[in-house]
Amino acid sequence: MTPPSPSSPRGFSRRTLLAASAAGLAFLATGCTSSSADEREQVTSEQADELDAQALAQVNEESGRGEGDSAEDLFLVDAEEGLTPTGLRLSAHFLLREFHCKDGTQVPAAAIPALKRLVNGVLEPMRTRFGKCTVHSGFRTDAYNRRVGGATNSQHLYHRTPSDVAADITFVNGNVSAWHSEAERLLGNSGGLGRYATFVHVDNRQQHARW
């Protein structure tokens, strides 16, 4: 199947995207949001430590009840320092803290396996090609999603669809067209992929969704 032309994202013209982005409008159906609203808030490193600790406690509690994977299955363990020397590590280059909601809410434990799949299947291979990645938006609570104008059925709402998770990403090298093409190749005939003015949205839903 031929990937859609980068210059003509399906469903929205580039002009529409830019206009909607400028107005801070939500995109219907599959869209996430304008990036600018989401980037005004950040989690401090102290908050991130606390959110990691909460996520780890939740993982341990659930696996203790026989639900879900253990922390050792979900996170890379450093031989000398154990699980959390610099935060819970999903893969060689991605930390859980990059995906916590910017309103100070931890990634739900139930969504971490899907997040690990997204990171290993899409984000790490893209990082290999384009260099250091910035995650502009990962998990969003309902309230935070409303605040940034996200779609009500957004894959950023990890607590609603814990088996499908999303990330809005950029890289130090390349551009939106190159990132979009590579994500298209990696996702194949499934997952969600959205092209925005300054970033791409990727998610690992079962269906094929492009915008």
**Residue 118 binds Zn ion (CB under 5 A):** no
Among 32, 122, 133, 202, binds Zn ion (CB under 5 A): 32
Smallest distance, Zn ion to C-beta of residue 156, A: 6
- What is the DSSP secondary-structure string of 177-193? HHHHHHHHHHHTTSEEE
**Residue 201 binds Zn ion (CB under 5 A):** yes
Binding residues for Zn ion restricted to 138-157, rule: CB under 5 A: none
- What is the DSSP secondary-structure string of 55-102? HHHHHHHHHHTT-S--HHHHS--BTTTBS-SSS-BSSSS-BGGGGSBT
Asked whether the beta carbons of 200 and 180 are under 8 A apart, the reply is: yes
Give the C-alpha distances (Å, rounded to integers) separating 20 from 12, 32, 33, 196.
10, 11, 9, 10
Smallest distance, Zn ion to C-beta of residue 146, A: 15
Stretch of residues binding Zn ion (CB under 5 A), selected from 1-9, 74-82, 89-97, 168-176: 168-176
- Measured CA to CA, the distance from residue 166 to residue 100 in angstroms comes to 12
Instruction: Count the neighbouring beta carbons within 10 Å of the beta carbon of residue 194.
Output: 26
Smallest distance, Zn ion to C-beta of residue 71, A: 27
Provide the 8-state DSSP code for 158: T
Quick check: helix, strand or coil at residue 109? helix
Stretch of residues binding Zn ion (CB under 5 A), selected from 31-39, 57-65, 139-147, 180-188: 31-39
Among 168, 187, 191, 202, binds Zn ion (CB under 5 A): 168
Smallest distance, Zn ion to C-beta of residue 54, A: 23
- Measured CA to CA, the distance from residue 22 to residue 36 in angstroms comes to 9
Stretch of residues binding Zn ion (CB under 5 A), selected from 5-13, 28-36, 81-89, 124-132: 28-36
127 vs 201 by CB, closer to Zn ion: 201
26 vs 112 by CB, closer to Zn ion: 26
Residues that bind Zn ion (CB under 5 A): 32, 166, 168, 201
